[in-house]
């Protein structure tokens, strides 16, 4: 039996039963995971580039910016993740040295969760699933993976001021990338779930099913290539929507914002 494990980077070695994901191709996965993290693109950056490409350049030059809204979102997710992890049950620490280790642990945890019909969650301290798409140099950690059905389904929760009438493209790309990392492991999810929750006391929810179509997968790969090009020095195409800038954490220092020209 494969036990549920969680990943702590740099923790002591734990010996684990090796499992091989069906259909997974591990050709270049002996790469050190910490090196892969340094050189690959976070899924969240793909989503940010959809919001505005200049965010990629700003993040590269100015680093991560903490805002009250981001911190609040993180706290709310942490609360929900801890709740889900309590339901998931006990886990054991495991060492992740290579990309292959990350993939095997994620695979093992999804298999375990499918068997037990559980929901996988990632919190700040516990990572039960690491999204890795080695072929396109992408990594990330989805909020939740619902394993109560036949296939694992990515569930991403977003806190918002107002509920959108349709799912935002940046969020769709994010869940598509996470779902594609499940495909790399041999799973075949046909959709993902995007859940929007209002930040107010009412915590009203709206949920969308995002089909994992060929189009959205191609779009995700194209976006990853574009983000890579921006990271390598290509000029970003900034948004022309000043409302986006007003809500952006980089607005005070951004040299691309159209607000400076108005
Ligand atoms: S301030 Fe505007 S142009 Fe600059 S990164 Fe943010 S959204 Fe893009």
Give per-residue pLDDT as tens, 167-205: 999 999 999 999 999 999 999 999 999 999 998 888 899
pLDDT tens digits along 104-149: 999 999 999 999 999 999 999 899 999 999 999 999 999 999 999 9
Residue 24 forms part of a structural domain? yes
**Does 59 map to a domain?**
yes
Assess whether the C-beta atom of 251 lies below 6 angstroms from ligand 1. Answer: yes
Q: Is residue 247 part of a domain?
A: no
Q: Where are the beta strands (DSSP E) in the chain?
A: 5-7, 41-42, 92-94, 119-121, 131-133, 138-140, 144-146, 153-160, 191-198, 205-211
183 is a domain residue: yes
CATH number where 176 lies: 3.90.320
CA 50 – ligand 1 centroid, Å: 11
For residue 43, pLDDT beyond 50: yes
pLDDT of residue 60: 92
| Residues in a beta bridge with 205 | 197
Instruction: Count up the domains in the chain and report the number.
Output: 1
- In whole numbers, what is the pLDDT of the chain averaged over residues? 88
Domain holding 62, by residue range, is 5-234
pLDDT at 59: 93
- Give 76's pLDDT tier (boundaries 50, 70, 90): confident
Virtual torsion, Cα 46, 48, 53, 54, nearest 10 deg: -140
Which pLDDT score is estimated for 116?
Answer: 95
CA of 261 to the centre of ligand 1 (A): 13
Distance CA 70, CA 68 (A): 6
Q: How confident is the model at residue 2 (pLDDT cuts 50, 70, 90)?
A: very low
What distance in angstroms lies between residue 89's CA and the mean position of ligand 1's atoms?
42
C-alpha 51, offset from chain centre? 16
On whether residue 121 sits in a domain, the answer given is yes
Is residue 49 one of the residues assigned to a domain? yes
Residue 254, in any domain of the structure: no
In a domain, 258, yes or no: no
């Amino acid at each position: 039996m494969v036990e549920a494990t969680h990943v702590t980077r740099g923790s002591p070695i734990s010996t684990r039963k090796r499992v091989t994901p069906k259909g997974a191709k591990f050709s270049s996965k002996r790469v050190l995971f910490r090196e892969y993290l340094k050189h690959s693109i976070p899924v969240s950056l793909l989503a940010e580039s959809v919001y505005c490409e200049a965010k990629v350049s700003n993040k590269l030059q100015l680093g991560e910016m903490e805002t009250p809204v981001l911190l609040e979102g993180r706290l709310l997710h942490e609360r929900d993740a801890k709740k889900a992890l309590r339901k998931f049950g006990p886990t054991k620490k495991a060492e992740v040295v290579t990309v292959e280790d990350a993939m095997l642990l994620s695979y093992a945890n999804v298999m375990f969760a499918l068997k037990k019909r559980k929901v996988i969650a990632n919190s700040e301290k516990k990572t039960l699933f690491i999204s890795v798409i080695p072929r396109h140099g992408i990594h990330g950690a989805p909020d939740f993976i619902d394993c109560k059905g036949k296939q694992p389904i990515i569930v991403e929760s977003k806190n918002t001021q107002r509920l959108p009438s349709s799912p935002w493209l940046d969020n769709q790309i994010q869940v598509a990338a996470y779902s594609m990392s499940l495909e790399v492991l041999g799973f075949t999810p046909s959709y993902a779930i995007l859940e929007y929750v209002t930040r107010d006391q009412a915590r009203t929810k709206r949920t969308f099913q995002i089909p994992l179509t060929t189009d959205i997968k191609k779009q995700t790969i194209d976006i990853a290539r574009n983000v890579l090009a921006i990271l390598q020095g290509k000029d970003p195409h900034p948004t022309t929507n000043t409302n986006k800038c007003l809500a952006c954490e980089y607005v005070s220092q951004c040299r691309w914002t159209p607000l400076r020209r108005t």
